[in-house]
């Protein structure tokens, strides 16, 4: 059955790979599953047809036969549970890898989202400059704990897993901030993720969409 995901017709990040379809593309590349992409304009994302697929009007979604899923974490977990390559065979190790997925999305990403809001949505507010260091320190608190746990290991718990895929994806949002450089083992961890051939293919695929959308019309 064909897998179809949705992505931005014009990604707000201009092809830096931070839109969440990259996480799903990466997972599909890791497990070797081909997929098709349906591109959506910002207007189409808010229309009933898409809201039926994604109640919060976002991308990506995932369709395969009768199954329609939303939420990146759920899609990546679904892919990881159906195909070999993203979760260990041992049941306990599998549960721990899934714990790292949730840690990425519910413990590490929220302060990073708050920082993004502070930078993007509140940059013109009178409190912006004074407040930013507070928000950055909330991110640093989590990075310090994560760096402490990772220590000198390559991946968070044994071999590369869907937990690492999600954690690296979340940390990539900090790349332009320079904050990762304060934690050299985390910076190296993210670089290891980016160096994986599956990530490279996912990144190239989302960049190609962006390049095409900025090409002048014939």
- Residues lying near a second copy in the complex (CB under 8 A) are found at 51, 55-58, 66-75, 77-78, 92, 95-96, 98-103, 105-107, 109-110, 113-114, 117, 121-122, 125-127, 130-131, 134, 138, 142, 145-146, 148-149
Tell me the C-alpha distance between 188 and 147, whole Å: 11
Strand order in the sheet with 3-8: 36-40, 3-8, 61-64, 67-70
Cβ closer to a second copy: 169 or 206?
169
Instruction: Give all strands (DSSP E) within the chain, no chain letters.
Output: 3-8, 36-40, 61-64, 67-70
How far is CA 51 from its chain centroid?
21
CB of 185 to a second copy, least distance (A): 13
Query: Residue 177: is it exposed, middle or buried by C-beta count within 10 angstroms (0-12/13-18/19+)?
Result: middle
In angstroms, what is the minimal distance from the CB of 48 to a second copy? 10
Closest separation in Å from C-beta 195 to a second copy: 24
Complex with a second copy: residue 106 or 200, whichever CB lies closer = 106
CB of 197 to a second copy, least distance (A): 27
| Structure-block tokens of residue 94 | 């599998």
Which is closer to a second copy, CB of 23 or CB of 25?
A: 23
Nearer to a second copy among residue 112 and residue 210 (C-beta): 112
């Amino acid at each position: 059955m064909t897998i179809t995901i949705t992505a931005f017709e014009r990604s707000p990040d201009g092809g830096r790979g931070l839109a969440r379809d990259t996480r799903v593309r990466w997972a599909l590349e890791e497990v070797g599953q081909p997929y098709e992409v349906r591109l959506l304009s910002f207007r189409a994302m808010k229309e009933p047809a898409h809201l039926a697929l994604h109640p919060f009007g976002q991308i990506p979604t995932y369709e395969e036969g009768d199954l329609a899923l939303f939420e990146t974490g759920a899609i990546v977990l679904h892919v990881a549970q159906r195909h070999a390559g993203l979760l260990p065979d041992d049941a306990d190790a599998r549960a721990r890898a899934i714990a790292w997925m949730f840690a990425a999305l519910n413990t590490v990403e929220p302060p990073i989202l708050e920082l993004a809001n502070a930078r993007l949505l509140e940059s013109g507010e009178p409190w912006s400059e004074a407040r930013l260091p507070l928000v950055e320190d909330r991110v640093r608190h989590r990075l310090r704990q994560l760096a402490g746990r990772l220590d000198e290991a390559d991946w968070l718990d044994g071999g590369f897993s869907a937990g690492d895929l999600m954690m690296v994806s979340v940390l990539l949002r900090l790349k332009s901030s320079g904050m990762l450089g304060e934690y050299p083992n985390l910076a190296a961890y993210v670089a290891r993720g980016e160096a994986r051939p599956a990530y490279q293919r996912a990144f190239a695929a989302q960049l190609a969409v962006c390049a095409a959308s900025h090409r002048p019309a014939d």
